[in-house]
Every structure is written in structure tokens, then in C-alpha cells.
Amino acid sequence: MDENTILEKVKESVVEALGVDEEEVKPDSVLFDDLGAESLDLLDIVFRLEKEFGIKIPRGGIQADALSAEGENLKEEDLVVDGVLTPLGIRKLKQSMPEVDPARITDGFRADDIPTLFTVQTFVNIVKKLLAEKA
């Protein structure tokens, strides 16, 4: 499935879950700040995408592998201390979420706040990755 098809389906799910106008939903729209989403809305979008694409998006897997310490000999505390991202954690998050404006990931950024960064494109990327894994 090409990216454009995925994008159209993701946009559709966002429109249905949030009740926003289709014209408002752009790839770089931030779900919380631009489209008024709350955390339960993300769950709503997740379930719609799962149904639409026949995939399973785990709770923790929603945010790519941004803070996964696996495979790099990193420990959790190298990336997050007391819920706050370390400089290395910030660097890794920016790398793994290239669709997010890096200026939004500032010093002292909390891991809990990562969902507030999500854009429409974030979900497109997640779906793309999961479809590729499924294939």
C-alpha cells in the first residue's frame, strides 16, 4: 500500500474520531494542539486504524521506537530519568520522530508528554512500519 493511500485512510480515521473537518487535517497537523485531541481520542484513532489496516498497535508501540533502549546497549536510565528525557533521550526522540518539529522537543521534556507531539504523519509512519512487518 503506498503512502498516499495510507495517509488518506489515516486522515479519514482522524476525522471520524475527532469530528473535525477534513480540510483541517494535514500531515503535519498536531493532534493535541491543532486538532484538539485528548488522550482517549488517540485510543479511538488507534482502534480505527487497527480495523482499517488489520494491524495491532500496542500501547507502548504507538511512539515508534523512540526510547527503546534495545539493541544499542543502552539502559532505560540513559534515556529517561524520573520521567524526564536525558540529552541522549532527546536526541534519539528527534531522530525517531523526524515528522515532529524538533523545536518542540525542549530540555526537560517528559516521556509522558510524547503523545502531545503526535502529528497525522506520526500515525502514517506507525501504520507503514506495522504493515511492512506484517508483509
> Where does this chain bind another protein (CB under 8 A)?
39-40, 43-44, 47-48, 50-51, 58-60, 62-63, 66-68, 80, 82-83, 110-115
**Number of helices followed by number of strands (H, E) in the chain:** 5, 2
15 vs 62 by CB, closer to another protein: 62
26 vs 69 by CB, closer to another protein: 69
Q: How far is the CB of 82 from another protein (least distance, A)?
A: 6
Separation between Cα atoms, residue 17 and residue 46, nearest integer Å: 10
Q: How far is the CB of 22 from another protein (least distance, A)?
A: 19
DSSP line for 32-74: TTTT---HHHHHHHHHHHHHHHT----TGGGSTTTT--TTTT-
Strand partners, 119: 30
23 vs 107 by CB, closer to another protein: 107
Q: How far is the CB of 123 from another protein (least distance, A)?
A: 13
Fill in the amino acid letter for 67.
Answer: L
33 vs 112 by CB, closer to another protein: 112
